[in-house]
Structure 1
Amino acid sequence: MSNSYAQAVLRTPDLGEALGIAHQLLALADTSGMDVTFLARVHTSQALEQLSEILTDLSWWSESADRPASSEDGADPAGHLPVQVKSFCQKPEAVDGFLAAVGDGASVVCWDLSSWPEAPEIGLGIGGERGAYVSLCVNAHDLYLDEPSDDHTVYVHVKQVEAERAPWLAAQVGLHVFGKLVMADD
């Protein structure tokens, strides 16, 4: 685990638009070693079953303070709904299946990139090494699903010492950053 710093570049009710911007940002980056992390709030057994089929090494934990349970306990997650699930190091091809399984639930797709491109006009070389990510928060405003919403937010992640890369990246896809640069536990 490492920490990157994330800043929002788009908020829209149109999931297709959000995915399109995420893909434009991915096209800027070195994606040769890319993998994806998924996080979702799951309310139904059907969604849980579909996610279990799509994702390997699925971790989960109960959202109920009265009935705490997790994948570490060996308990059945279907008996503890709603739960949050997380899966690391997945193939990018799993994104569509993940989003279909989650449906209108809150979720995050986080693409882990090899590096961001050089940005000579702001004095930055190639950037990344544990600080190059794109996150799509579906039906959520934040990276941890604490702020459910009816729209979707795209974030770029950078190293804290390269904070000026976030507005530069946004500009490369015709957007501007908004909100604060926030620490993200990747």
Structure 2
Amino acid sequence: MSNSYAQPILRTADAGEALCAVARLLELADTSELEVDYEAVVSSASALARLLKLLPCADWWAEGGRGGSSQDGVDPVACLPVRVRSWGHCADVVVPLVRASGSEPAAVRWDFAGWPVAPEVGLGVGGSRGAFVTLCLNARDLDLEHPAADHTVFVHVKQVEGARAPWLAARVGQRVIGELVMAPY
């Protein structure tokens, strides 16, 4: 399995605007096999409680090399900050997750069947291996290592199909605003 490559196309302080850009991208995609993944770095006990209420089976582990994880049966609040991760959700969970994340750095990733044909850049249908959209909340990077007061939308493509990212951005009234980088997962 290889990683996708991602390129930022929008940075905004308005989560609603970011979600609208994601929705426009998803209108282009083959979403017949849509799933949503979530990850956050959580420092607040109240945010952690909100998130675990929505994602009771989420995996979590202490950040910074400290011990403690969902596998240990310990109270996650005692291990803050923690990284929370959960996979394979339906799209209905997105807005509640965005609200529950509050000001914590988080990433919502939409995983789907493929991108459309991009004839202007010489590309056929983009298969599922490089077909994702990620909204990073309160972070500027996919690893959630650079907290920010704004949100960033990334389009994912196969590395050899890098021309698809600016093509997709243009289709939703945006443009690329950063480099194409290897996605962490």
- Whether TM exceeds 0.5 here: the answer is yes
Note if contact 2:105-2:147 (Cα within 8 Å) is conserved in structure 1.
yes
Q: Offset at 1:77?
A: 1.0
* Aligned counterpart, 1:17: 17
Say what the alpha-carbon RMSD is for the aligned residues.
Answer: 1.4
Q: Offset at 1:69?
A: 1.6
Instruction: Compute the TM-score of the two structures, normalised by the length of structure 1.
Output: 0.94
* Aligned counterpart, 2:140: 141
* Aligned counterpart, 1:94: 93
**Deviations 1:131-174, CA, capped at 9 Å, x for gaps:** 10000011100011100000110000000111110010001011
The letter of the residue matching 1:120 is P
Instruction: Compute the TM-score of the two structures, normalised by the length of structure 2.
Output: 0.94
* Aligned counterpart, 2:171: 172
Distance (Å, rounded) in 2 between the aligned partners of 1:49 and 1:175: 35
SS of match in other structure, 2:95: helix
- Larger displacement relative to structure 2 (47-56 or 143-152): 47-56
1:119-158 aligned within 5 A: 119-158=118-157
SS of match in other structure, 2:129: coil
SS of match in other structure, 2:130: coil
- Larger displacement relative to structure 2 (160-169 or 44-53): 44-53
SS of match in other structure, 1:84: strand
Q: Which has the higher strand share?
A: 1
Q: Percent identity?
A: 53
- 4+ aligned runs moved over 4 Å, structure 1: none
The letter of the residue matching 1:7 is Q
Distance (Å, rounded) in 2 between the aligned partners of 1:128 and 1:152: 27
- Larger displacement relative to structure 2 (25-34 or 39-48): 39-48
Pair 91,2 (structure 1): closer, same or farther in 2 beyond 3 Å: farther
Distance (Å, rounded) in 2 between the aligned partners of 1:80 and 1:19: 31
Note if contact 1:2-1:185 (Cα within 8 Å) is conserved in structure 2.
no
Aligned residues between the structures:
185
Pair 60,2 (structure 1): closer, same or farther in 2 beyond 3 Å: farther
